[in-house]
């Protein structure tokens, strides 16, 4: 048995949740916050048999898309802010950060 932990952008959350249910996968959905953009994320925890991990990964990959987003960097710490003019920078966000970890024991009460 494996535990699949998928951290995805909030914009993909409902689509992924519906796809997991449609494919018969049960998941626990947690609200989380990203460190880089400090934006809302959703973390899915999915317990799955070893032989079905590739199916779950396919569903995640099909429903979580990378997209470009303009971000204005925060002003530098220290120094003069008079000469600092922040310009938006385009970064890629979204997709999924997925961890697959072994489960030593699973109990359901």
Indicate whether 107 pLDDT > 60: yes
Q: What is the pLDDT of residue 81?
A: 55
Number of neighbours of residue 7 by Cβ within 10 angstroms: 17
18 backbone dihedrals φ, ψ, rounded to 5°: -65, -40
- DSSP characters for 17-44? HHHHHHTT---EEEEEE-SSS--EEEEE
Q: What is the pLDDT of residue 60?
A: 97
The pLDDT tens digits for 53-85 are 999 999 999 999 887 766 666 655 555 555 556
The pLDDT tens digits for 14-45 are 999 999 999 999 999 999 887 665 667 899 99
50 backbone dihedrals φ, ψ, rounded to 5°: -50, -45
Q: 64: burial class by Cβ within 10 Å (0-12, 13-18, 19+)?
A: buried
pLDDT band at 49 (very low <50, low <70, confident <90, very high): very high
pTM given for the model: 0.77
Q: 13 near 29, Cβ under 8 Å?
A: yes
């Amino acid at each position: 048995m494996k535990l699949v932990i998928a951290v995805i952008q909030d914009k993909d959350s409902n689509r992924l949740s519906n796809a997991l249910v449609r494919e018969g996968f049960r998941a626990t959905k947690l609200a989380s916050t990203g460190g880089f953009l400090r934006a809302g994320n959703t973390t899915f925890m999915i317990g799955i048999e070893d032989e079905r991990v590739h199916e779950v990964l396919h569903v995640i990959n099909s429903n979580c898309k990378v997209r470009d987003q303009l971000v204005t960097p925060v002003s530098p710490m220290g120094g003069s802010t008079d000469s600092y003019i922040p310009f938006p920078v385009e970064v890629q966000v979204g997709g999924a950060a997925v961890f697959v970890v072994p489960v030593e024991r699973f109990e359901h009460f």
